[in-house]
Amino acid sequence: MIRAIKTIKVMSNTETMQLDLFNGVLLNTKQQVEINTFIDRQAKRAVDSQDNVNKTMLLMDEAGFVQGKDYISNFEVHEVTSKREFGYSYNNTNYEHEVTYMNAVGGVYLIVNTIRDGELKVIKSSVDRDGDKIMCTSITEQYRYYKPSSLYTKFNEYNDRKINELEHNGKQKIAVDKIIAKYKKLYPEAVVYSSTDYYRGSYTSFPIVKVKFPSGSEVSFTLGYGGELDKERFHKKHDVVIETTESILERFNNQKAK
């Protein structure tokens, strides 16, 4: 039987090649340096990331945060073997090569309250560190780093505020239901329903109740204050019948003097 002859590439002195025994392919010196640099960079990144996580957790522990209750860390370093692309396409030096390197993933996260679908939920919100200060933008109005003790206070205030907000939302819903029932009884032909409006110059919304009559005219109410949310207040009106100046004058003329 005649066996096929494998062609061996003869390397010139001007282009030194190295045999990668793991992949069974030839790399030139520049490519090998590039791959080694990537592996070294990933290893350093893993070490630096581990150091950053350790320092972040230490700052948080000293400030009063409790791991598992107030924050978690899912940071880990593991060995990865995969194909990576090196070089550049613009000068045709790009190539793929399988490499084994250390990969760091995860970080430190605060356990933060949030309201979703009318229920209190908890989410993970990442914590960043800069020197001896830390930041978590989900719980602060300003995008900046805080002393760990200050962020701990803001963290507790934020979570408590969400609990209070959920309780207040529940009270608002009860009040809205009462107001709707009241105006449905008073005006059975009207469509009475809950809606929302926004504070002027703000994206903050608040609940209202609308009473829409068959003519298309409608009146809306906001909730009351404090413990009397069901004591509604007039908010806006929309009248499909536009009064003329003459009719307004006539109506005013017919009003009884006080």
Asked if the model's pLDDT at residue 43 lies above 60, the reply is yes
Indicate the pLDDT class of residue 15, thresholds 50, 70 and 90. very low
Tokens of 50: 């581990």
Tokens of 60: 């948080």
Asked if the model's pLDDT at residue 186 lies above 80, the reply is yes
One-character DSSP codes across 210-229: EEE-TTS-EEEEE--STT-T
Q: What DSSP character marks residue 57?
A: H
Main-chain phi, psi angles of 236, to 5 degrees:
-145, 165
What number of residues does the chain have? 258
The C-alpha atoms of residue 146 and residue 155 are separated, in whole angstroms, by 11
Asked if the model's pLDDT at residue 17 lies above 90, the reply is no
Q: Which pLDDT belongs to residue 25? A: 61
Pairing mode of beta strands 119-126, 76-86:
unpaired
The residue ranges of every structural domain in the chain are: 17-162, 168-253
Q: What is the pLDDT of residues 59-87, one digit of tens each?
A: 999 999 999 999 999 999 999 999 999 99
Q: Which pLDDT belongs to residue 247? A: 86
Indicate the pLDDT class of residue 5, thresholds 50, 70 and 90. very low
C-alpha 197: how far from its chain's center?
A: 24
Lowest mean per-residue pLDDT among 41-50, 89-98, 178-187: 89-98
The DSSP bridge partners found for residue 197 are: 206
The DSSP bridge partners found for residue 247 are: none
Side chain identity at 148, as an amino acid letter? Answer: P
Q: Which pLDDT belongs to residue 104? A: 96
Indicate the pLDDT class of residue 23, thresholds 50, 70 and 90. low
Mean pLDDT, to the nearest integer, of 228-240?
93
Q: Which pLDDT belongs to residue 256? A: 85
Nearest to 39 by CA among 55, 22, 25: 22
